[in-house]
């Protein structure tokens, strides 16, 4: 049963705690990474047999298998995937930034180049569920950015096959290469390269604790998007909201995994109790009830605040991954939201709309990192170089200033490099 707290009557630790902490897997992941570095494809095949039950002769998915999978997916779902992809492209196209040049003074040219990252690796989870939505969300911004090679790694099933909907989504998104490997070993392969899998420059995508730890350990060798924790939803709703809708939205995240958290903030105790009852009623009907129930019992909570304004303050402190504002005039509150990954406005904007279809990205900062992090975007797939050009005349006007500045820092060679060009 979900817990109900009245804000101000319990400790802040009860209000702001994020639930169970996972077991440390760093040593296991470190061993897997070393194995992949030393043994390449051989180790990946070994781990596929151990963790996925798959005997693999080949790690790469080739075009024939992709085309076969695409033709096996029902046409209605292909249409939906294409519509979702179109929405994602339209949203992310607006994020493209251009290079710029400054040439306002004689003899001085400065600028910035926006350059696509050449090779990116996208991790797509498998296991308890299949996520074609992640394929679209992670690969489309990379393609818009102009990345030369976009690769996917995802675990196979026991028959050594990738779920056809994953391959269909990859084809629609324009993914370049697909590999049958998952877990920490997939991250290691992307970071260091193997005989089959190319070394990439950046790894993005969600995963379990082993994947998150592997991304943490290879960071610096390659870039990563973020260290993603368990999925989260926070709903702000008043007593006029529909309790069944809110309960369904909370369970949409609780069913992800047992570590997920679903939180409601309301100013109405009667509504809080109605949502609690609805959650119990809906839980018993879920195919993933065993997962969602652990999430709700351990990490779920309903917080009753004195007002919606106080609820906004609580939400900003929590800094949730997904935030729903289930109110009649949600835009009245938008500017007051300072920390949230993705914000869903109004009573008819369920978080699932963002997961699959609307177009805004669903790879989001978790565990409070929305205080300083952003959703995955085109920006994640580019880097910037800056350049400066001065003529002799332009440098002569500032050389003494540069030298003076450098000497204040005790860096006399810096100073000399500026003035030596004008010594007789």
Bridge partner list, 111: 101, 387
Strands of the 223-224 sheet, one edge to the other: 60-61, 177-180, 149-154, 119-123, 202-204, 223-224
Tokens 């400054």 -> residue: 102
Alpha helices in 101-163, H assignment, sequence order: 132-145
Give, as one character, the DSSP assignment of residue 312: H
Q: Report the run of H or E that residue 153 belongs to, with start and end.
A: strand 149-154
Mark whether 322 is an active-site residue: yes
Tokens 């909370």 -> residue: 250
Q: How large is the angle between the packed helices 289-299 and 243-254, nearest 10 degrees?
A: 100
HSE-CB at 16 with a 13 A cutoff on CA atoms is 13
Strands of the 3-6 sheet, one edge to the other: 3-6, 301-304, 261-266, 232-237, 322-326, 342-345
Q: How many helices (H) and strands (E) does the chain have?
A: 16, 15
User: What would the DSSP string read from start to end of 269-296?
Assistant: HHHHHHHHHHHHHHHTT-TTHHHHHHHH
Tokens 């070393």 -> residue: 34
Q: What's the CA angle centered on 176, arms 143 and 54, to 5 degrees?
A: 130
Helix (H, G, I), strand (E, B) or coil at 165: helix
Mark whether 321 is an active-site residue: yes
Active-site residue, selected from the candidate residues 321, 324, 351, 362: 321
Q: Which two tokens stand for residue 356?
A: 């699959």
Give, as one character, the DSSP assignment of residue 219: B
Active-site residue, selected from the candidate residues 92, 322, 339, 362: 322
The span from the CA of 344 to the CA of 342, in Å, is 7
Q: Which two tokens stand for residue 345?
A: 């406005």
Which residues are designated catalytic?
Answer: 321-322
């Amino acid at each position: 049963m979900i817990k109900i707290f009245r804000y101000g009557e319990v400790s802040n630790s009860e209000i702001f705690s994020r639930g169970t902490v996972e077991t440390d897997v760093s040593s296991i992941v470190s061993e897997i990474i070393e194995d992949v570095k030393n043994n390449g494809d051989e180790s990946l095949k070994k781990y596929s047999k151990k963790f996925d039950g798959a005997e693999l002769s080949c790690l790469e998915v080739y075009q024939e298998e992709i085309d076969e999978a695409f033709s096996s997916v029902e046409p209605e779902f292909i249409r939906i995937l294409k519509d979702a992809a179109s929405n994602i492209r339209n949203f992310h196209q607006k994020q493209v930034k251009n290079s710029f040049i400054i040439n306002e003074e004689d003899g001085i040219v400065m600028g910035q180049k926006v350059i696509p990252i050449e090779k990116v690796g996208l991790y797509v989870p498998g296991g308890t569920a299949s996520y074609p939505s992640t394929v679209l969300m992670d690969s489309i911004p990379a393609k818009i950015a102009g990345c030369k090679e976009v690769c996917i790694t995802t675990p196979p099933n026991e028959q050594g096959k990738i779920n056809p909907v994953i391959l269909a989504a990859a084809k629609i998104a324009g993914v370049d290469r697909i590999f049958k490997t998952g877990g920490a070993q997939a991250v290691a392969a992307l970071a260091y390269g193997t005989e089959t899998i190319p070394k990439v420059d950046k790894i993005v995508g969600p995963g379990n604790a082993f994947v998150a730890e592997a991304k943490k350990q290879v960071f610096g060798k390659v870039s990563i998007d973020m260290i993603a924790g368990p999925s989260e939803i926070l709903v702000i709703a008043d007593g006029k909201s529909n309790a069944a809708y809110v309960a369904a939205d909370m369970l949409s995240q609780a069913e992800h995994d047992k570590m997920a958290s679903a939180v409601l903030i309301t100013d109405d105790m009667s509504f809080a109790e109605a949502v609690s009852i609805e959650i119990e009623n809906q839980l018993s009907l879920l195919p993933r009830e065993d997962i969602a129930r652990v999430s709700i019992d351990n990490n779920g909570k309903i917080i009753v605040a004195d007002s919606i304004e106080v609820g906004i303050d609580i939400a900003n402190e929590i800094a949730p991954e997904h935030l729903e504002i289930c109110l009649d005039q949600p835009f009245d509150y938008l500017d007051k939201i300072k920390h949230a990954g993705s914000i869903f406005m109004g009573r008819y904007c369920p978080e699932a709309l963002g997961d699959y279809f609307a177009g805004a990205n669903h790879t989001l900062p978790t565990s409070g990192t929305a205080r300083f992090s952003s959703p995955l975007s085109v920006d994640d797939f580019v880097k910037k170089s800056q350049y400066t050009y001065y003529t002799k005349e332009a440098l002569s006007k500032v050389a003494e200033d540069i030298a003076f500045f450098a000497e204040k820092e005790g860096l006399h060679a810096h100073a000399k490099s500026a003035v030596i060009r004008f010594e007789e």
